[in-house]
Amino acid sequence: MSLTWPWALAALLAFPLLLAYRWWLRRRRRRETVRVSSVTLIRAALPGRSLWRRRIPLWLFAAGLVVLAAGAARPQASVPVPNNNAAILLAIDVSASMCSTDVKPNRLSAAQQAAREFVEDLDDGTRIGLVTFSAIAGLLVEPTDDKDTLLAAIDDLKTSRGTAIGQAILTSVDAIAEFNPDVPPTGVEAPPATGAGGEYEPDTIVVLTDGRNTQGVDPVTAAGEAAARKLRVYTIGFGSTEPAPSVCTREQISGDAAFRGDGSGGPFGGFGGRGRYMQADEGTLTEVADLTGGEFFKAEDTDALTEVLLDLPDSISLQRENVEITAWFALVGALFVLAGLGLAQWWQRSVAVPTPVAVPAPGPAPPPAPAAPAASADPPGRADPPDYSVWKRG
């Protein structure tokens, strides 16, 4: 992590100043005597505050000030970010061994299918350059985002004799140097580099081959030129270890290709091969990838090759750049400050004291109330009837 304004770290002095101000306030504090009728009421009114409740808000506030002061220096972090301006140079082997039928229908057809899916799956605007190599290497399509042009060139690939892997790497480097001024061409001296660590150029080279270098410059020597220019080279070893006849169609064979017929007709009216077999030089391809900071992949069939090519953009398009993270420091610092102030206000809030209820002193029980007279069954105002029995006896 780096700092854009390192002098802004002077704001960190706010922390010791805060401690000094707190110490000064405590020295000036005076205790006041208050006469109260009941100590119990005072204890109920004052909230209980332990030692950690007094210190946590202060330390949260102080930590927030420190983080905010560090954010004022505008820190930057080196993080991987997508780079849509990167160009990918796809170098495809078109040597005669690509007619091997160990991968159906043959290696060249499988490579064409995987390359088409690779181009079609890329995001719009991604630039792809196409390099083909056999005995010599040539730039077939300059880096472009025109998918139709790339697909047409891939469908028109033709095989020839020889395999010049090193020359393919140098041709890709020169193609990148045409549009990237930070990359010198191969004819210009470049400072040596190991390819391990440091910043790489956004442009990348992908080499797809099924054999070993037979002509031209050594691949490791060419990889040193790419590493000196901070260009990564990803290598793909294609094909299985099972010998199989070499059969290509008429459209897949160039005029300088020579095959010896074995009497078997190729598919779609093509030519038969003599059963030649070549295996990818995994050791050299791995050394090339390691020297330049790339990676080596092994693909034995069409599905594996397609998967490797489709996964490449995730690794190629990510570049490490310095990104300012001041906003994160401001967010964390603000959260600390707000948490400290919030806890201080919450733990120091006043508590309402309930009003005491007066209870009368115990005394003698009051006399019972007089009983009410029994109510008459007759209606009110009506007298009892006279007794006429006395008159009859007399």
At 68-97, the pLDDT tens digits run 777 777 777 765 555 556 789 999 999 999
Q: What percent of the chain has pLDDT over 70?
A: 65
**Burial per residue of 19-35, b for 16 or more beta-carbon CB atoms within 10 angstroms, e otherwise:** eeeeeeeeeeeeeeeee
The sign one gets for the Cα dihedral 181, 182, 186, 189 is positive
Q: How far is CA 87 from CA 80, 219, 307, 367, in A?
A: 17, 21, 20, 110
pTM above 0.85, yes or no: no
Q: Report the relative pairing of strands 75-82 and 2-3 from DSSP bridges.
A: antiparallel
Q: Which of 94, 95, 93, 100 is nearest to 273 (CA)?
A: 100
As a whole number, the mean pLDDT across the chain is: 77
Residue 103 has pLDDT above 80, yes or no: yes
State whether residue 105 is helix, strand or coil: coil
Q: Are 258 and 279 in contact (CB under 8 A)?
A: no
- Cα-based angle 210, 289, 130 (whole degrees, multiple of 5): 60
The better pLDDT of the pair 138, 30 is held by: 138
329: confidence class by pLDDT, cuts 50, 70, 90: confident
The better pLDDT of the pair 188, 273 is held by: 188
Which helix (H) or strand (E) segment holds residue 299: the answer is: strand 296-299
Average pLDDT over residues 46-52: 59
273: confidence class by pLDDT, cuts 50, 70, 90: very low
State whether residue 129 is helix, strand or coil: strand
Report pLDDT for 381. 52
- Cα-based angle 103, 205, 155 (whole degrees, multiple of 5): 45
333's CB contacts (< 8 A; 6+ apart) are 64, 65, 66, 67, 68, 71
| Interval 333-382: pLDDT, tens | 788 878 877 877 777 665 555 555 555 656 565 666 665 555 555 555 55
| Interval 225-250: pLDDT, tens | 999 999 999 999 998 888 888 888 88
**Cα of 144 vs its chain's centroid, Å:** 28
Beta bridge partners of 321: 79
Average pLDDT over residues 213-219: 93
What is the four-CA torsion angle of 127, 133, 139, 145, rounded to 10 degrees?
-20
Report pLDDT for 157. 94
State whether residue 93 is helix, strand or coil: strand
Report pLDDT for 393. 47
Report pLDDT for 19. 73
Which helix (H) or strand (E) segment holds residue 64: the answer is: helix 51-71
Average pLDDT over residues 9-19: 72
| Interval 278-315: pLDDT, tens | 688 999 999 999 999 999 999 998 899 999 988 886 65
Residue 158 has pLDDT above 50, yes or no: yes
Which helix (H) or strand (E) segment holds residue 209: the answer is: strand 204-209
Q: Which of 290, 288, 315 is nearest to 86 (CA)?
A: 315
Report pLDDT for 227. 93
**Burial per residue of 328-360, b for 16 or more beta-carbon CB atoms within 10 angstroms, e otherwise:** ebeebbeebbebbeebbeeeeeeeeeeeeeeee
Residue 146 has pLDDT above 80, yes or no: yes
Report pLDDT for 75. 77
Cis check: omega of the bond before 191, within 30 degrees of 0: no
Residue 14 has pLDDT above 80, yes or no: no
Six token digits for residue 120? 């079609």
